[in-house]
Structure formats: C-alpha cells, structure tokens
A and B are shown apart, each in its own frame.
Chain A
Amino acid sequence: MKTLNLVQAVNDALAVALEAHDDVVLLGEDIGRFGGVFRATAGLRERFGEERVIDTPLSEAGIIGTAVGMALYGLKPVPEIQFSDFIYPGFDHIVNELAKYRYRSGGQFPCPVTIRTPVGGGIRGGHYHSQSPEAYFIHTPGLVVVCPSTPRDAKGLLLASIRSPDPVLFLEPKPIYRKAVGEVPEGDFEVPLGQARVVREGGDVTLIAWGAMVSLCEEAAARIAPSGVECTIIDPRTLWPLDIDTIADAVSATGRCIIVHEAPRTCGFGAELAALVQERCFLHLEAPIRRVTGWDTPFPYTLEHAYLPSVERVLDAVEATIAF
C-alpha cells in the first residue's frame, strides 16, 4: 500500500497499464511533454516514449476518432479529453461510432477505447471547466460509464476499464483530484466494473452519490449522526451498467432514498435512478425519493457553490425525508 491522491492514483494506473500491455497508448492534448494540465500523465512520456504517450493536435474529434481506429486495429488506446466540457466535438465519434461498432458490425469490430476526462465543479472553472455530462453517455447504448470517488477506486477501476472489452467513459472528479487521499495497493490491481461500493451503513436513509458528491454525503452523514439519524451511502462507481441490486437492497432496508449529483436535475442520472428504485422498492418506500442536484441552469462561475449540492442541502433533504 501507498498513500496517493486521486490524480496520482490515475497516474499510477496508467503506468501499470503501459508497463503491462504493449498495446496501450495514451493520446491527448498536453499529456506528453507537459504531463497533462492536471498532471495525470506526468512522467509517463519520459518513461514510455513519445510514441505511446502522444501529444496530439488540438482536436477532440480527432483524438477520439483516431482512438477508434487504433482500437479497431487492436490497440488499447486511452485518450484524454482535457475537460469533459470539451468532449462535444468528439460526441459523434463516441455515441455513433465507438458505442456502436461492436453492435453494427455483428460483433466483428469491438472497439475497446477508454476515454479519460475530468468532470465536476467547485474549482472556479465556470461553465466550460465544470460540467458533469454523464447522463448523455449513460443514455447511449454500448458505453460503460465509470466515476471513482477514492484513489483506490480510481486506480482499480481505471485498470479494469482499460482491460474491458467494451468502450469506457472514465469520468475523473477533478474537484477531489488532490483532496481525496488514501491508501492504494501497489502494482497491478483491479476493482471490478459493475459493482457498487457501500461507503457507510445506517438504518434510516440511503444516499446515492458518485465522484466528488460521495465525500459531501459522508460529511452530511457524519454531521447528522449525533442526532440519531443513520445514513447508508452507496457509490455506484460504475454508473452504467448499474449495480442496481446493491442499491435496491439498501433502499429496501432504509425505506428512504436521496440521490445527490452535480449535473442538472432534469433528465440527470438521478431521474433514472429514481425510476429504477421505485420499480424495485415501491412497497418499501416510506417517503418520496428526493434529488439533490445542480440546478437546471448552465453551470455558473461566481455562484458555483449556490449551484452545487452542499452539505446543508443534503441535510435538508435527509430531514425532509425522515419527517415525511
């Protein structure tokens, strides 16, 4: 074990993957000589060479489009999109090509690309450095969508993603790139895709959160525990395909469910989670499922902390759900 922050854990996973697999190549803007704007690829070009840690021209569609071609041929490309807010020029390649190649070729051309991209706000990044676009990709058949909340999960899930036969969108919560610090196994290790993590167990209410919202929920749960309200916190880790069983078991046990995410509320992943939970837990529910989310506005700059879920908003939802 060693103690790493989340972005160091990403770097560690990439180094392990490059070491273990000749087919793994990294490509993106500023990832080579500079080591990435968040330092996620620091030192990797020096270690593995500029042919495998590639500084590309500034073209998100080109980065993802060429990664698709590399994967068709048999490589395991791991492109980085510098901010998920800039992923949209590559959106067509993700939703129409990457996600569909296996399907439309009748299984002849699988396309295992792992796209890494930072998500989330609270870093004074404004509209174009703060978005959480997971719902667009979860809505797309054929994509695996992953979002870790701890350094350990970041390393283990990233290695599992790179080895997955399916395309993966790997969303890295940048507000906690350095804030999240923890023990990480050394060397090669995986956290299996498709398994949620029970972060905390309590009998009164289930909070579902991912990325930077997990630690927010932990803080809320710790703050309300002295008043006798105990929270279960579930981190799906793999947002899609979802480990709905772990979530449904937790909600059935507590009878109350609150979903917390940064993205706008309407058609956010919380909407799908609420639908899935009520389908499975209807007779166990003691109160309506609540959502604590970003508002249905563009992501603001000055007012970002009024936009993002806060401990206070989570606690308010917990109290309202308990009192219902």
Chain B
Amino acid sequence: MDDSPRQILDEEGRLRPGQSVPEGLDAEALRALYALMLRQRLLDDLMLTLQRQGRIGFYGPATGQEAAVFGSGRALAPEDWVLPALREGGVALMRGYPLRDYLAQCFGNALDVTHGRQMPCHYGSRAQHQPTLSSPIGTQLPHATGVAWAMKLRGAATVAIGYLGDGATSENDFHTALDMAGRFALPAIFFCQNNQWAISVPVSVQTAAPTLAAKAAAYRMPGHRVDGNDVMACYAVTREARARALRGEGPTFIEALTWRMGAHSTSDDPTRYRDEAVTEQWKARDPILRLGRFLLAEGLQDEDGLQALRESLGREIREALAEVEAAAPSVPLGTMFDDVFASRPPHLAEQAAEAARFGVPTPSH
C-alpha cells in the first residue's frame, strides 16, 4: 500500500510533475481560496490576541491547517451538511456564515444567535447546514452518518461530511460511525485533520495503527492520505469522495496530514510537551505561502494585489469586530430558560421567575 500523502502543489508552490490544477478550480476560485485562507489566518491571530487581552474566554485556531479546512470545504455543495470538529468554523464562513455571527459567538454577547450558551468556537448555522459544535470528541461522526442516512432515505443528491482530528480516531464513536456508514453505503465523507497532536499526545502514542487512513479498511471504505497543507490536493480528494458518494458507492475516509502550528487552544502550552523546532520546519510548508507562490508564479496575482488583499481583509475583520464588540456584553437572563424544550414547561417558568429576582450578578473574582 502506498501511504505517501497525495500532493498536487509542492512546498515551493509548483505543480508536481504530472499534476495539474484540479477541475473546478479556475483562477477566480484559487484567488478566492487564497483570500479565505488568509482571512482565517488574520482572524485567528486577532482572536488569540483578544483572548490574551481577556476580551474573549477561549479560542481554538486553525493556523497552519487552512488548506485542509478550505480545500475540503470548497469541494462541498451548498446543500451538503457539515458536522464540524473544533477547527472548521471557516467551513461555515466560506459557505456564507456571517463573520459578524462568528465573532458574536466568540463573545457570547447579545448579537450571538445562540445566546452565549457555549464557549467560543462552538459555531453552528442552520442556513449553512452546519450543526452546532459540541465539545466531546467524535460525537459528530455518528451524527454525520445519521445525516447521510437521512439523505439516502430521502433520495437527496447531497453528502454529509464529518470532520475530526487525529485523537478522535480512538473514540468509539469514530468506529461505529464508519461501521454504519460503510454497512449502509451512505453518502458520507469523514475528513480527518491529522495535525499530529491531541493536545499533548502525539499520534505515535495515540495508536499502533500504521496510518489513520488504515483504520478505514476495516469498514471496507477507501482511506486516502493527502497533504493537508496543499489546498489543491485537499480539494481534489474531497471532491472525488463526494462524487463517489453521489454515485452510491458509499463513504470515504480522508486523512489530511498537517501540523498544529500553535497550541491546541488558548488553554495549553505546547512548549511543555513538544519540540518546537519541528514546528519551525513546518513553517516552510505553510499552506497560504504555498498557494500564494503559485498565484504569483502563474501571474494570477501580483505582490501589490496580495498586499491590497491583506489590507482589505484586515479592514473587514476590524469593522466586524468593532460592530460585534459594541453590542451589549451580555444576553437577556430569560434566554437561559429558552430552547430547553420547544416551549417552556411550568417548572422552568417558575425557575426563570426565581432567577429574575436576582438578575445577573457580576463575578467577584
């Protein structure tokens, strides 16, 4: 078995011998992908700063993994469903989730359509068919299988994609999701961002499996490895998986090899458990740098254009941030008791009235 990850663009941003730009990515699409990846990078940098300044409580960046996020996301159709892990807020963004909603979710303030009910990065949007993230690892995978199952029962020409990290391949939910998707030949894609670290645990400690893609074979499902820092390859392999699903041939597992350039989240410190010299080496494989070199070399963009893009993206983010941060810092107390059930039962009406007597206290520490 050839375990080497598929690559279209090499680390210098040149097409590999025998490779061409995948079908479906014209010059405009490539420029758009570059802009999305760069915006995510700028956004993540800003959000990390906001977290350090105490303006938001938590953040899990996609830094270094933008090709996997946006390459796979680009291969989806608007009616497909996305069951995300921690780092796929960008998939919602590229499918029309407003930047304002993304930021408001992180602030958990009055503009947050989920009423500040979860920590930052727990995005979700009905319009983008992206159910709201939950923190437990891998639970979204049986949900993706179930969505794909429902699509098949309804005869819809769509797919469900479940995202996961490397650690999630150890979870029971991973195995049952792949088993059932395989058994019923469901139109599902399982896209694993193998950033090689589950907080402090490297893949070598996580599993004895030779590759994560190897796990798919047990469920009679193709398991593809792809260079997760190559946006063209991530797009192509996801697009092929989607086409396969729509032909009724069943699910595909994709292992995108990448590297978590920063901490797992703002709550940990990777210098305590890994050699950051390796992280320095991965900087040379930066997915944005790589696509940028290709765009420049092919004359699809020039240096002035890239600089102007960077400035306009920065402006867009700062303007959205200003708008969101200007909103009321908290959500109305009563929303705490909404949406537990479709309508508020008597015991919650009683408790809401009791809570209202005390209002929202300011924490003393």
Contacting residues, chain A, for B65 (C-beta < 8 A): none
Contacting residue for A106 out of B113, B136, B342, CB 8 A = B113
Is B347 close to A, CB under 8 A?
yes
Task: Contact check, A104 vs B146: say whether CB atoms are below 8 A apart.
Answer: no
Contacting residues, chain B, for A61 (C-beta < 8 A): 142, 172-173, 176
Give me 14 other A-B pairs in contact (C-beta within 8 A), A70-B146, A106-B112 excluded. A61-B142, A65-B141, A65-B176, A66-B143, A69-B83, A69-B147, A70-B147, A72-B131, A72-B146, A93-B142, A102-B339, A108-B132, A109-B126, A109-B131
Whose C-beta in chain B lies nearest to the C-beta of A77?
B146
Interface string of B155-182 (1 = CB under 8 A from A): 0000010000000000011001101100
Given known A-B contacts A59-B176, A72-B131, A241 and B149 have beta carbons under 8 A apart: no
Contacting residue for B117 out of A25, A75, A103, CB 8 A = A103
Is A141 close to B, CB under 8 A?
yes
Interface string of A135-163 (1 = CB under 8 A from B): 00000011010000000000000000000
A residues neighboring B (CB under 8 Å): 25, 51-52, 56-57, 59, 61-62, 64-75, 77, 89, 92-93, 96-97, 100-110, 141-142, 144, 164-166, 194, 241-242, 244
Interface string of B262-287 (1 = CB under 8 A from A): 00000000000000000000000000
Is B115 close to A, CB under 8 A?
yes
Task: Contact check, B139 vs A69: say whether CB atoms are below 8 A apart.
Answer: no
Contacting residue for B142 out of A25, A62, A106, CB 8 A = A62
Is B63 close to A, CB under 8 A?
no
Cα A195 to Cα B112 with chains together (Å): 36
Task: Contact check, B146 vs A107: say whether CB atoms are below 8 A apart.
Answer: no
Given known A-B contacts A59-B176, A89-B172, A101-B132, A69 and B124 have beta carbons under 8 A apart: no
Given known A-B contacts A67-B146, A70-B149, A62 and B132 have beta carbons under 8 A apart: no
Contacting residue for A108 out of B126, B142, B148, B347, CB 8 A = B126
Cα A85 to Cα B132 with chains together (Å): 30
Contacting residue for A72 out of B139, B143, B345, CB 8 A = B143
Chain B, interface size category, equals 35 or more
Task: Contact check, A100 vs B183: say whether CB atoms are below 8 A apart.
Answer: no
Contacting residue for B148 out of A57, A68, A69, CB 8 A = A69
Residue pairs across A and B with Cβ atoms less than 8 A apart, 7 shown, are A65-B142, A69-B144, A70-B147, A108-B125, A108-B132, A144-B341, A241-B346
Task: Contact check, A106 vs B134: say whether CB atoms are below 8 A apart.
Answer: no
Cα A64 to Cα B126 with chains together (Å): 22
Task: Contact check, B139 vs A57: say whether CB atoms are below 8 A apart.
Answer: no
Contacting residues, chain B, for A96 (C-beta < 8 A): 134, 136, 139
List residues of B (211-254) whose CB comes within 8 Å of A's CBs: none
Which of A64, A97, A103, A144 has the most chain B CB atoms inside 10 A of its CB?
Answer: A103
Contacting residues, chain A, for B147 (C-beta < 8 A): 69-70, 72-73
Task: Contact check, A93 vs B139: say whether CB atoms are below 8 A apart.
Answer: yes
Give A26 Cβ to nearest chain B Cβ, in Å: 12
Task: Contact check, B125 vs A165: say whether CB atoms are below 8 A apart.
Answer: no
Whose C-beta in chain B lies nearest to the C-beta of A105?
B132
Contacting residues, chain B, for A142 (C-beta < 8 A): 340-341
Contacting residues, chain A, for B176 (C-beta < 8 A): 57, 59, 61-62, 65
Contacting residues, chain A, for B200 (C-beta < 8 A): none
Contacting residues, chain A, for B132 (C-beta < 8 A): 101, 104-106, 108-109
Give B293 Cβ to nearest chain A Cβ, in Å: 40
Cα A67 to Cα B83 with chains together (Å): 14
Contacting residue for A75 out of B118, B131, B150, CB 8 A = B150
Contacting residues, chain A, for B141 (C-beta < 8 A): 65
Cα A92 to Cα B340 with chains together (Å): 17
Is B193 close to A, CB under 8 A?
no
Give A73 Cβ to nearest chain B Cβ, in Å: 4
List residues of B (98-132) whose CB comes within 8 Å of A's CBs: 112-115, 117-118, 122, 124-126, 131-132
List residues of B (75-112) whose CB comes within 8 Å of A's CBs: 81, 83, 112
Given known A-B contacts A57-B180, A74-B150, A102-B342, A66 and B136 have beta carbons under 8 A apart: no
